[in-house]
Amino acid sequence: MCWELFLFMQESSKQIVLKIIERINPSSILDVPCGDGWLSKKIKKTIQIDGIDLYGEEALGYREWRKFNLEDGLPSDLGAYDCIVSCEGIEHIGNPELFLRTAYTHLNHGGTILLTSPNVWYPQSKLQYLLRGFFPSFPCLVGKINKGDHMHIIPWSFSQLYLFLTINSFKNINLHYEPLSEAKHFYEKLLGFPQLLYCRNKLARSTSEEERLFWEKVGSKESVYGRHLIISAVKP
């Protein structure tokens, strides 16, 4: 994946995240990892926002900012938030189950978690994996591995994140549309077609509402063709 496309993908996802935040209208947000503080600069000033990151200097615009290693989950002394935003974070975390478990703990009931990550399920990504053994954005790191470094560790698809979120009791798991959810080339439509047929067959055979909603989302163009995952889930 070229660097220009990666940057466009991130910016496109951020715009969708901002629209979701505007819709759910939280009074408090935890931004983790917060990076350069882009979210604190974009949201309404009436929203209380805290930030956590392991890298870089303290970002401005946060009520509270702290440096913390997310391999240990979220800090236990955090309060509870209406929304936890994790943009381009979960693919860097070696223990995502612990991260999601502690995120659930620090959400208010009815609160929302927002996750974005590269999607490894789109056809060009699968083709590259078939030919090279590595997904785009997840290159071979042999000789570059240093504990604590900023690395893409775990490649994600919607079905995997759905599983991890469900294990940790999240509900209303949704995959959101963005411009990069469309197939860019005709060959991608062809490569993705068998998966679409498979998911439609599973959808037709679903015996519960949970199954129906799952196969509907897994077989969506956001899941099959999207370069990026933008997922929301709710703590009941």
Tokens of 23: 């819709």
Residue with tokens 């439609």: 200
User: Which has the minimum average pLDDT: 10-14, 33-37, 65-69, 154-158?
Assistant: 10-14
- Written as one letter, the residue type at 195 is Q
The answer to whether residues 148 and 69 touch, using CB atoms and an 8 Å cutoff, is yes
pLDDT band per the 50, 70, 90 thresholds, residue 138: confident
* Beta strands 28-31; 48-53: pairing state: parallel
The answer to whether residues 68 and 31 touch, using CB atoms and an 8 Å cutoff, is no
Q: Bigger pLDDT: 146 or 224?
A: 224
Q: What is the pLDDT of residues 30-65, one digit of tens each?
A: 999 998 899 999 998 899 999 999 887 788 899 999
What is the three-state SS of 103-142?
A: HHHCEEEEEEEEEEEEECCCHHHHHHHHHHCCCCCCCCCC
Return the percentage of the chain with pLDDT > 70, whole number: 91
pLDDT at 178: 81
pLDDT band per the 50, 70, 90 thresholds, residue 180: confident
Q: Bigger pLDDT: 93 or 107?
A: 107
The answer to whether residues 18 and 42 touch, using CB atoms and an 8 Å cutoff, is yes
pTM exceeds cut of 0.95: no
pLDDT at 150: 66
pLDDT band per the 50, 70, 90 thresholds, residue 162: very high
- Written as one letter, the residue type at 165 is L
Kind and range of the H or E element at 39?
helix 38-42
In whole angstroms, what separates CA 73 from the centre of its chain?
16
Q: How far apart are CA 8 and CA 89, in angstroms?
A: 17
Where do the structural domains in the chain lie, given as residue ranges? 3-183+224-234
pLDDT at 9: 57
3-state secondary structure of 53: strand
* Nearby residues of 208 by Cβ (< 8 Å), 6 or more positions away: none
CATH of the domain spanning 3-183+224-234: 3.40.50.150
3-state secondary structure of 81: strand
Q: Please compute the mean of the pLDDT values over residues 93-101 and round it to a whole number.
A: 95
Q: Please compute the mean of the pLDDT values over residues 173-184 and round it to a whole number.
A: 85
